[in-house]
Amino acid sequence: MNIPTKNIVERVLVVGGSSGMGLALARQLLSEGAEVTIAGRSPAKLDEAGNSLGNPSSLRVAIADIASEAEVRRLFAETGRLDHIVSTAADIGGSYRLLPELDIAEARRVVASKFFGPLLLAKHGVPVLSNNGSITFTSGINAYRPAARGSVTAAMNGALASLVRALAVELGPIRINAVSPGWVDTPIWQHVAGDAKAATLDAMAARLPVGRIGQPEDIADAIRFLMRNGFVTGTVLHAEGGHRLV
């Protein structure tokens, strides 16, 4: 007699899921039948994201600042059991400055969102993860191809690469990885380049071997690979169109 198998629904937390790469990932996961919680600091952005996703019953939203340990604890108390945790969150807009102009308060916000935030997600998220679960962080190309004005984000992205290796050893069998995007057309470029956004992205597209700038869906695909491949841990997956080569 054939016994029907029970469908197992993935439960995924996407921190930074209200825009850009995180929103693209949430959309893909929902289309595949996952239960998704998107978390962020802005209630207005979360409402807008929920509307753009159609507010299905499989979607939840949570307001949380991952730089706050108390808020991270509360976040996981609300989510309950999870299969995967993903963070694309970053508070980096004001940090793109030449060193003499750098505001240390802005730099500390980058450290809080890009390093301490992921560290806290791992610390408090592991207890609610399934044994074959995963955590995926978001690094970035400037750790490998730094440029002027990007010293703080380059340092934090490099630190994440070391963090995933260390946590993969400590937290196994839970898998810890990072995606390192190249230049991707997301809202953050408005903060970085302002009115020169289109020209800046077009110039980079002409340089890249793939001939184009990345889209949020490209990075979402890379994150889904790391989530689902049970034999990959402690790895940085580069999704950057060949940027490290030029």
Q: Which domains does the chain have, with CATH numbers?
A: 11-239 (3.40.50.720)
pLDDT digits (tens, 9 = 90+) for 158-181: 999 999 999 999 999 999 999 999
- Taking residue 141's Cβ as centre, other Cβ atoms within 10 Å add up to 24
Burial of 120 (0-12, 13-18, 19+ CB in 10 A): buried
As a whole number of angstroms, the distance between CA 58 and CA 246 comes to 42
pLDDT digits (tens, 9 = 90+) for 14-35: 999 999 999 999 999 999 999 9
As a whole number of angstroms, the distance between CA 78 and CA 148 comes to 41
Structure tokens of 17? 């899921």
pTM confidence score: 0.93
As a whole number of angstroms, the distance between CA 130 and CA 58 comes to 19
As a whole number of angstroms, the distance between CA 236 and CA 229 comes to 14
Confidence tier at 96 by pLDDT (50, 70, 90): confident
What is the rounded average pLDDT of the residues 86-110? 88
pLDDT at 2: 44
